[in-house]
């Protein structure tokens, strides 16, 4: 660990009876070596269990939990830490497979509690015991940097004085976008990881292929993409012809980046209060009463406004554009009548529908949906959600006709395998992945039409045809798919 500003008090908890004492003591030792104060805690006998654990957690900076299953003591310790806004690092050994019950349910329940902890909280399964120490030190180092940064930011905020009423009013506006602010904190590590993975994999290819008109849709994952773009790729940013966004946080990020030449809000208008998104004249529409219709089919004035946005993308992005999109969730259950992406806002639903409809036209505008594992396993709830697809534009049609990719980050290999299997069944048969065993683990899955466009990027961006010939030699089946799709375009 380097460049650390502060030593922290680390409490390492393991419930009694699970034979984890040796692992707990090992983590205590390496924590001291890393320069922090560490002490162990087990579940003591008697009626004072709850009080002792609560007092110990209240006096610490970070709670580390080792467990095999979601025992009462584990749940109590994590809930206490979350209530006191302490960061939680939870490691499920072997993982949660010795309960005799539903290990997936146990894992999901523990993960849900951990994510209510302070910023930087993290849940990780550990199937190989020899990797526990190294995984713990990596995760602790990342958490320490988050805590250092948060502490420094809080100090600066306390010392900052904004005498100018105009500047002060603008700064206070950011507090209105309550949903987006909260979502930016949820699974922030996953969102940052998948944003960096996309740019590492595609940015130079896109610029080299002349895909220089980008749309960054409103969403917390997209905000992290903008952050990574401007921070890590300042030289190539100048080669992007124009970036449009309908999110105020992303727009402010672009304002602060001198390397981005042209950027604008589309549609223009005042950001709405929850997400900080601009929807232009879509906001003149009256949302439907749910759950009677959910806004489908899209008719009359709603159809007119949606077509206006679709036409903008069709005209401006058909030749050299790409759309980076967000979603509240993706329903993958083949038995669900609401398969595909869904959102919590009527206006957001219409906007995303326009993007997908534009993607079907002409040669196809590539669309990349950014998500984390919580989004791609998010069930559709009729009383809360608006589906993007319907009988006029089904999820099956989107998967076949829109050049579509889904970029996702996972913490759990088991979760990753289950979700990727369902996405493959839906037509996302092409996969680009990070190294196995890496946490978070990122992947981009795409359908045939996106894969064909991706292959054209590779050919166009390469100075020679070496990359393309190498791809032909190593993946001849993929090349045949590309040729078949290109014949239909």
Which CATH number does the domain housing residue 330 bear? 3.40.50.1360
* Percent of the chain at pLDDT exceeding 70: 80
- Is residue 452 a part of any domain in this protein? no
- Is residue 103 a part of any domain in this protein? yes
Does 264 score more than 70 pLDDT? yes
Q: Point out the least confidently predicted range of 153-157, 269-273, 461-465.
A: 153-157
pLDDT for residue 260: 84
Does 150 score more than 70 pLDDT? no
- Is residue 293 a part of any domain in this protein? yes
**465-476 residue pLDDT tens:** 444 444 444 445
On whether the CB atoms of residues 87 and 120 are closer than 8 A, the answer is: yes
Within a 10 A sphere around the Cβ of 249, how many other Cβ atoms?
24
pLDDT for residue 65: 93
On whether the CB atoms of residues 278 and 248 are closer than 8 A, the answer is: yes
pLDDT for residue 351: 97
Residues 137, 246, single domain; the answer is no
On whether the CB atoms of residues 18 and 67 are closer than 8 A, the answer is: yes
pLDDT for residue 172: 56
Q: Is the peptide bond before 183 cis (omega within 30 degrees of 0)?
A: no
Contacts 24+ apart (CB under 8 A), 158-163: none
**190-226 residue pLDDT tens:** 888 899 999 999 999 999 999 999 999 998 889 889 9
Distances from the Cα of 397 to the Cα of 87, 214, 346, 357, 359, angstroms: 43, 24, 22, 10, 11
CATH code of residue 90: 3.40.50.450
The two tokens of residue 180 are: 């987006």
Dihedral through CA 387, CA 389, CA 390, CA 394, nearest 10?
A: -150
pLDDT for residue 54: 80
Does 13 score more than 80 pLDDT? yes
- Helix H, strand E, coil C: the string for the chain is CCCCCCCCEEEEEECCCCCCHHHHHHHHHHHHHCCCEEEEEECCCCCCHHHHHHHHHHCCCEEEEEECCCCHHHHHHHHHHHHCCCCEEEEEECCCCCCCCCHHHHHHHHHHHHCCCCCCCEEEEECCHHHHHHHHHHHHHHHHHHHHHHHHHHHHHHHCCCCCHHHHHHHHHHHHCHHHHHHHHCCHHHHHHHHHHHHHHHHHHHHHCCCCEEEECCCHHHHHHHHHHHHHCHHHHCCCCEEEECEHHHHHHHHCCCCCCCEEECCCCCCCCCCCECCHHHHHCCCCCCCCCCCCCCCHHHHHHHHHHHHHHHHHHCCCEEEEECCCEEECCCCCCCCEEEECCHHHHHHHHHHHHHHHCCCCCCEEEEEECCCCCCCCCCCCCEECCCCCCCHHHHHHHCCEEEEEEECCHHHHHHHHHHHHHCCCCEEEECCCCCCCEEEEEECHHHHHHHHHHHHHHCCCCHHHHHHHHHCHHHHHHHHHHHHHC
Residues 131, 187, single domain; the answer is no
Residues 147, 199, single domain; the answer is no
The two tokens of residue 17 are: 């009876």
Residues 25, 116, single domain; the answer is yes
Instruction: Name 360's Cβ contacts closer than 8 Å, sequence gap at least 6.
Output: 397, 401, 402
Residue 323 CA from chain centroid, whole number:
16
Does 166 score more than 60 pLDDT? no
Mean pLDDT, to the nearest integer, of 294-305? 94
**Where is pLDDT greater, at 318 or 105?**
318
Mean pLDDT, to the nearest integer, of 372-398? 90
Confidence band for 431, pLDDT divided at 50, 70 and 90: very high
Residues 262, 398, single domain; the answer is yes
**Where is pLDDT greater, at 441 or 405?**
405
pLDDT for residue 401: 96
Residues 134, 204, single domain; the answer is no
Q: Point out the least confidently predicted range of 67-71, 88-92, 174-178, 392-396.
A: 174-178
Does 164 score more than 80 pLDDT? no
- Is residue 481 a part of any domain in this protein? no
pLDDT for residue 213: 96
Instruction: Name 98's Cβ contacts closer than 8 Å, sequence gap at least 6.
Output: 68, 69
Domain boundary among 431, 446, 461: 446
Residues 273, 421, single domain; the answer is yes
Confidence band for 252, pLDDT divided at 50, 70 and 90: confident
Average pLDDT, the chain: 81
Confidence band for 182, pLDDT divided at 50, 70 and 90: low
Task: Give how many domains the chain has, as a whole number.
Answer: 2
Residues 145, 203, single domain; the answer is no
Residues 226, 318, single domain; the answer is yes
pLDDT for residue 1: 37
**Where is pLDDT greater, at 344 or 462?**
344
Residues 254, 142, single domain; the answer is no
Q: Give the range of the structural domain holding residue 188, as residue numbers without chain letter.
A: 182-446
Mean pLDDT, to the nearest integer, of 77-85? 89
CA-based torsion, 392, 394, 399, 403: positive or negative: positive
- Is residue 482 a part of any domain in this protein? no
pLDDT for residue 363: 74
- Is residue 166 a part of any domain in this protein? no
- Is residue 171 a part of any domain in this protein? no
Residues 186, 148, single domain; the answer is no
Mean pLDDT, to the nearest integer, of 317-344? 93
- Is residue 175 a part of any domain in this protein? no
On whether the CB atoms of residues 411 and 318 are closer than 8 A, the answer is: no
Which range has highest mean pLDDT (42-51, 143-152, 368-377)? 368-377
Domain boundary among 133, 153, 173: 153
Residues 387, 278, single domain; the answer is yes
Mean pLDDT, to the nearest integer, of 321-342? 93
């Amino acid at each position: 660990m380097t460049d650390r500003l502060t030593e922290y008090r680390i409490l390492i908890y393991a419930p009694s009876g699970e034979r984890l004492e040796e692992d707990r003591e090992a983590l205590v030792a390496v924590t001291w070596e890393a320069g922090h104060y560490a002490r162990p805690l087990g579940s003591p006998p008697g009626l004072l269990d709850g009080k002792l654990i609560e007092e110990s957690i209240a006096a610490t900076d970070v709670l580390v939990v080792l467990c095999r299953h979601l025992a009462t003591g584990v749940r109590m310790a994590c809930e206490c830490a979350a209530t006191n806004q302490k960061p939680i690092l939870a490691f499920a050994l072997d993982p949660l497979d010795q309960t005799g019950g539903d290990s997936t349910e146990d894992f999901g329940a523990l993960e849900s509690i951990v994510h209510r902890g302070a910023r930087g909280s993290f849940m990780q399964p550990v199937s190989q015991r020899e990797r526990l120490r190294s995984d713990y030190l990596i995760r602790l180092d990342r958490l320490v940097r988050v805590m250092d940064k948060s502490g420094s930011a809080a100090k600066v905020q306390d010392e900052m004085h904004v005498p100018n009423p105009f500047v002060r009013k603008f700064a206070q506006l950011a507090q209105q976008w309550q949903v987006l602010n909260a979502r930016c904190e949820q699974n922030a590590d996953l969102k940052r990881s998948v944003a960096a993975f996309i740019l590492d994999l595609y940015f130079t290819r896109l610029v080299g292929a002349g895909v220089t008109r980008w749309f960054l849709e409103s969403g917390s994952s997209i905000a992290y993409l903008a952050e990574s773009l401007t921070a890590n790729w300042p030289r190539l940013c100048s080669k992007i012809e124009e970036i449009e966004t309908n999110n105020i946080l992303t727009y402010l990020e672009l304002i602060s980046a001198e390397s981005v030449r042209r950027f604008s809000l589309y549609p223009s208008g005042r950001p709405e209060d929850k997400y900080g998104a601009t929807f232009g004249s879509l906001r003149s529409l009256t949302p439907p009463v749910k759950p009677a219709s959910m806004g489908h089919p899209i008719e009359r004035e709603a159809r007119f406004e949606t077509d206006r946005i679709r036409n903008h993308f069709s005209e401006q992005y058909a030749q050299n554009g790409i759309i980076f999109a967000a979603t509240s969730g993706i329903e993958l259950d083949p038995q669900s009548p609401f398969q595909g992406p869904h959102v919590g806002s009527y206006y957001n639903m219409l906007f995303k529908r326009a993007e997908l409809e534009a993607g079907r036209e002409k040669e196809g505008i590539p669309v990349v949906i950014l998500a984390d594992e919580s989004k791609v396993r998010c069930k559709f709830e009729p009383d809360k959600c608006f589906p993007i697809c319907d009988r006029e534009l089904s999820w099956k049609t989107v998967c076949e006709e829109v050049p579509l990719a889904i970029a996702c980050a996972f913490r759990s290999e088991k979760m990753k395998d289950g979700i990727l299997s369902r996405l493959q069944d839906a037509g996302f048969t092409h996969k680009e992945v990070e190294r196995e065993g890496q946490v978070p683990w990122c992947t981009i899955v795409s359908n045939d039409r996106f894969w064909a466009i991706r292959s054209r990027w590779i050919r166009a961006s390469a100075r020679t045809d070496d990359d393309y010939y190498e791809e032909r030699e190593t993946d001849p089946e993929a090349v045949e798919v590309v040729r078949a799709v290109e014949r239909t375009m």
